[in-house]
């Protein structure tokens, strides 16, 4: 059954599609491009604005008056959901991993500024990569979101539950539409097709939507940042659901998930990511973040170096945002040294 696709325009679209000539020259690739979903506008931008366009439309269609979601304490998705709720006059409950924090910086500071009600889970958090252990982390946090929604309902509101990262079928459909947007931008960029897209994989919805929306001749490399333990299974499942919901053919291309770049886990700093962050800043004036986009860029650089991405290919780095995390306490020391 095709899902009705309505938007509640929160994102500023289309986002720019630009060459990265100086980084490309440094890496020895002539056709390196960036899709600037860090510039979606809503609450300092990022990939979740596209998903929230559709998710909020669905929430309003269903008569809901409160958004309930969650993630890690520095979740970009949580920050942008809080802003979307403010824009639309909805309540917002955020279920955040770990203990309450007195000192609020970066995304958490904005969550509070946008007026969200914060619920901390104490010992539950995203980022446990063993599926069994993750019952206490990723899926434990999902259950905590549902529990909060039940309490919100018992208090008389109509909650709309958004899974971690907005990784529902509706959320993934947003990236089927984003694939169409990019396809329409190719002629102006002087190319007719894309060989490889590299994108960060958190909850998997962005990758899944792109897999459903781009031609099977394009390889989409999702770079696992250590949020979710079952990306290999969930990305293709979500891609098939998003394809069906948007009336596309179910993707036949395999989901490529690169598990080599999360380091010690979700949010952990890695040397290749720091180098990717520094290079992209110095050569292109573009800010990445240590949790998502710099790990994706590190994977792109590694794959160019070892030949898994051909230097003659048309390569797109899909920038999903996240730079707000540059201002969190957690990274102040390590980033000060760059």
Ligand X SMILES: Cc1ncc(COP(=O)(O)O)c(C=O)c1O
Q: Which residues bind ligand X (CB under 6 A)?
A: 46-47, 76-77, 165, 167, 200-207, 289, 292-293, 320-322
Q: Do residues 94 and 116 lie in contact, with contact meaning Cβ atoms separated by under 8 Å?
A: yes
- Helices 48-61 and 169-185: angle between axes, nearest 10 degrees: 130
Q: Name the active-site residue from 75, 168, 203, 246.
A: 75
Find where tokens 């979601």 sit: 69
Q: Which is nearer to ligand X, 74 or 219 (CB)?
A: 74
Between 206 and 328, whose beta carbon lies closer to ligand X? 206
Neighbours of 187 (CB within 10 A): 9
Tokens standing for 179? 């694939």
Closest distance to ligand X from the beta carbon of 290 (Å): 10
Q: How far is the CB of 153 from ligand X (least distance, A)?
A: 26
- Shortest distance, position 89 Cβ to ligand X, whole Å: 24
Residue nearest to ligand X (CB): 202
**DSSP 8-state symbol, 126:** S
Residue 128 half-sphere exposure toward CB, CA atoms < 13 A: 17
Complex with ligand X: residue 31 or 69, whichever CB lies closer = 69
In which region does residue 133 sit, left (phi positive, over 0), alpha (psi from -120 to 50) or beta (all else)? alpha
Nearer to ligand X by C-beta: 31 or 39? Answer: 39
Q: What is the DSSP string of 34-101?
A: EEEGGG--GGG--THHHHHHHHHHHHHHTT--EEEEEESTT-HHHHHHHHHHHHHT-EEEEEESSS--
3-state secondary structure of 318: strand
CB of 226 to ligand X, least distance (A): 11
Identify whether 134 is a catalytic site residue.
Answer: no
- C-alpha angle 167-8-86 in degrees, rounded to nearest 5: 85
Give me the least distance between CB of 242 and ligand X, in Å please. Answer: 11
Q: Edge-to-edge, what's the strand order for the sheet holding 159-161?
A: 117-120, 91-96, 66-71, 159-161
284, 1 Cβ separation under 8 angstroms: no
User: What is the closest distance, in whole angstroms, from the C-beta atom of residue 146 to ligand X in the complex?
Assistant: 18
> Catalytic site residues?
75
């Amino acid at each position: 059954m095709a899902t009705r696709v309505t938007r509640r325009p929160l994102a500023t679209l289309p986002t720019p599609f630009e060459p990265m000539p100086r980084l490309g020259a440094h890496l020895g690739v002539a056709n390196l491009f960036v899709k600037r979903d860090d510039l979606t506008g809503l609450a300092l931008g990022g990939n979740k604005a596209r998903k929230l366009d559709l998710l909020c439309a669905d929430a309003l269609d269903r008569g809901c008056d409160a958004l309930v979601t969650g993630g890690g304490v520095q979740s970009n998705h949580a920050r942008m959901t809080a802003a979307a709720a403010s824009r639309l006059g909805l309540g917002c409950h955020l279920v955040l991993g770990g203990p309450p924090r007195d000192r609020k910086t970066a995304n958490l500071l904005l969550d509070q500024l946008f007026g969200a009600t914060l619920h901390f889970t104490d010992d539950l958090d995203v980022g446990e990569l063993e599926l069994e252990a993750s019952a206490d982390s990723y899926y434990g946090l999902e259950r905590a979101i549902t529990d909060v929604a039940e309490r919100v309902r018992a208090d008389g509101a109509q909650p709309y539950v958004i899974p971690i990262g907005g990784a529902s079928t509706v959320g993934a459909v947003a990236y089927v539409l984003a694939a169409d947007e990019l396809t329409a931008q190719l002629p102006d960029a002087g190319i007719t097709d894309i060989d490889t897209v590299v994108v960060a994989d958190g909850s998997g919805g962005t990758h899944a939507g792109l897999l459903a929306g781009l031609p099977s001749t394009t390889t989409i490399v999702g770079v696992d940042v250590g949020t979710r333990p079952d990306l290999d299974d969930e990305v293709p499942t979500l891609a098939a659901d998003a394809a069906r919901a948007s009336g596309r053919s179910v993707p036949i291309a395999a989901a490529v998930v690169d598990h080599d770049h999360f380091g010690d886990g979700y949010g952990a700093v890695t040397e290749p990511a720091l180098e990717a962050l520094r290079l992209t800043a110095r050569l292109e004036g573009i800010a990445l973040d240590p949790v998502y986009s710099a790990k994706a860029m590190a994977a792109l650089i590694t794959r160019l170096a070892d030949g898994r991405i051909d230097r003659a290919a048309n390569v797109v780095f899909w920038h999903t945002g996240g730079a707000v995390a540059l201002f969190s306490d957690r990274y102040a020391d390590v980033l000060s040294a760059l």
